[in-house]
């Protein structure tokens, strides 16, 4: 298999002179598209420590390696989407904007499977969310542009066409990308995490890889996939803070996204207000929304005790005010550190199951931990773990007590985001699956 390499991106386009008017032939759609996204794309630099073999004493030494990449702004408060491989194990992420503002950033959430991550900067003004397109209606030979930190040359613009759609690309034994956009727009080291744009200036992909040794073969993650992953990552942050009693999902009809209710918690304020599964959400706090990403953006930095105004459409549109509950109430102040850790990383509240609840269900398991609550959008919820399930094993260890669970959750390989098997009893049948621990906020390095 030919070698493939994942790379970062950066772009360097000078601001257009005010003397140049729209009636010249030079101000093409591509020129206007790049102008409109200049404050939505940032350059990333960082340094990571890597182990290397010493030729002198055959011992392992640590060396510092400089890295570069690109990010796209998804919220003006400093939330930036990029590739996980750009910021993985980077000691300090430095963000630079088109107008030369710089600020350190911290890693908030990551999804290694899709190679996406969200970072946050706090001291940069004028950030604008990237304009989102859709990857559902892309055309072969459609003109596109890549913007990013190519070889450290910040805000570099390159152009090309869409060469193919829905490519599966294996980078190495551990990383396989599916459903990629293939383009011949030049992508170089530093381009990873930057946008692939259409001529309307909309992001239709996140640049991620290039075929080593080939000319004009590069790849991008489709934007529809990328923004849904970004929404799930932001949901981890929001769900650690507040409870809305709702879950949402983006659906497309004729390439147009719309946002629908996928879950209503029984007894919640949303339930009491008559909100039903299948209702469409059209606005949040007066802002029109049509994607899960926009819903999660609207909840960012909200706190328990506040409320949100939601416009809901069924046969007609009505506006509902919903109070937000502090998520910490679900994991009470009396919770043990292990219970709190399980809630944050697995998304479950657990209690020791009684002998009667476990007895006779399975010959190999006599004890376990009963699931009494599941956090929305958590790893447990995504793996369809339900209230009433009995967790009996994780990562090859039995979970007969909270102490057992605490030992497992603190294993280094799980902390390093390794996927692990779990087993629960549901009725008399075992139910198994695989998951990774969630990490949010200050729990991340």
Question: CA 157, CA 146: separation in Å to the nearest integer?
Answer: 6
CA 330-336-342 angle, to 5 degrees, is: 65
DSSP type of residue 362: B
Question: What is the number of other CB atoms lying within 10 angstroms of the CB of residue 433?
Answer: 15
Please confirm, yes or no, whether 313 is among the known catalytic residues.
no
Radius of gyration of the chain (CA): 24
Q: Which of 192, 283, 377, 378 is catalytic?
A: 192
Please confirm, yes or no, whether 240 is among the known catalytic residues.
no
Give residue for tokens 């996928």.
262
Please confirm, yes or no, whether 115 is among the known catalytic residues.
yes
Q: How far is CA 396 from CA 259, 408, 432, in A?
A: 39, 9, 12
Pair of tokens at residue 358: 């476990």
Cβ-contact 239, 324 below 8 angstroms: no
Cβ-contact 377, 440 below 8 angstroms: no
Q: Which of 75, 115, 239, 279 is catalytic?
A: 115
Question: What is the number of other CB atoms lying within 10 angstroms of the CB of residue 247?
Answer: 18
Question: CA 62, CA 31: separation in Å to the nearest integer?
Answer: 45
DSSP type of residue 14: P
Beta strand pairing call for 60-75 and 102-111: unpaired
Pair of tokens at residue 232: 């799930």
- Long-range interactions of 26-32: CB distance < 8 A, separation 24+: 29/199, 29/200, 30/143, 30/145, 30/159, 30/199, 32/201
- Catalytic residues, by residue number, are 85, 115, 192
């Amino acid at each position: 298999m030919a070698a493939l390499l994942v790379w970062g991106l950066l772009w360097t386009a000078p601001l257009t002179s005010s003397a140049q008017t729209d009636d010249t032939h030079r101000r093409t759609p591509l020129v206007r598209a790049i102008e409109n996204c200049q404050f939505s794309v940032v350059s990333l630099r960082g340094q990571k420590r890597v182990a290397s073999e010493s030729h002198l004493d055959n011992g392992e030494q640590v060396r510092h390696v400089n890295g570069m990449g690109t990010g796209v702004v998804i919220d003006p408060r400093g939330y930036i989407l990029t590739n996980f491989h750009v910021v993985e194990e980077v000691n300090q992420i430095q963000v630079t904007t088109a107008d030369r503002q710089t600020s350190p950033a911290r890693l908030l959430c990551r999804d290694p499977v899709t190679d996406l991550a969200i970072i946050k900067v706090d001291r940069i003004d004028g950030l604008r969310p990237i304009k989102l397109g859709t990857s559902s209606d892309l055309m072969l030979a459609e003109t596109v542009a890549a913007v990013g930190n190519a070889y450290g040359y910040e805000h570099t613009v390159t152009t090309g066409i869409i060469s193919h759609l829905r490519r599966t690309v294996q980078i190495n034994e551990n990383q396989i990308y599916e459903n990629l956009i293939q383009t011949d727009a030049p992508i170089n080291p530093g381009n990873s995490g930057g946008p692939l744009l259409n001529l309307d200036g909309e992001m239709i992909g996140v640049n991620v890889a290039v075929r080593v040794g080939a000319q004009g073969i590069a790849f991008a993650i489709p934007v529809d996939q990328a923004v849904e992953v970004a929404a799930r990552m932001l949901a981890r942050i929001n769900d650690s803070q507040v409870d809305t009693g709702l879950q949402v999902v983006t659906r497309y009809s004729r390439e147009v996204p719309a946002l629908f209710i996928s879950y209503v918690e029984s007894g919640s304020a949303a339930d009491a207000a008559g909100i039903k599964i299948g209702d469409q959400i059209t606005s949040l706090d007066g802002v029109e929304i049509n994607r899960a990403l926009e819903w999660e953006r609207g909840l960012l930095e909200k706190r328990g005790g506040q409320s949100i105004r939601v416009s809901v459409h069924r046969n007609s549109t009505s506006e509902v005010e919903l109070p937000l509950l502090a998520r910490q109430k679900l994991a009470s102040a009396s919770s043990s550190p292990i219970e709190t850790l399980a809630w944050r990383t697995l998304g479950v509240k657990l209690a020791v199951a009684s002998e009667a609840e476990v007895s006779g269900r399975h010959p190999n398991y006599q004890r376990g931990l009963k699931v009494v609550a599941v956090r929305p959008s958590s790893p447990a919820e995504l793996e369809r773990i339900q209230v009433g399930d009995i967790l009996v094993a994780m990562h090859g260890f039995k979970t007969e007590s909270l102490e057992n669970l605490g030992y497992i959750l603190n294993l280094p390989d799980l902390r390093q985001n390794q996927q692990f098997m779990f087993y629960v009893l549901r009725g008399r049948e075992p139910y198994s699956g695989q998951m990774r621990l969630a990490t949010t906020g200050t729990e991340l390095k």
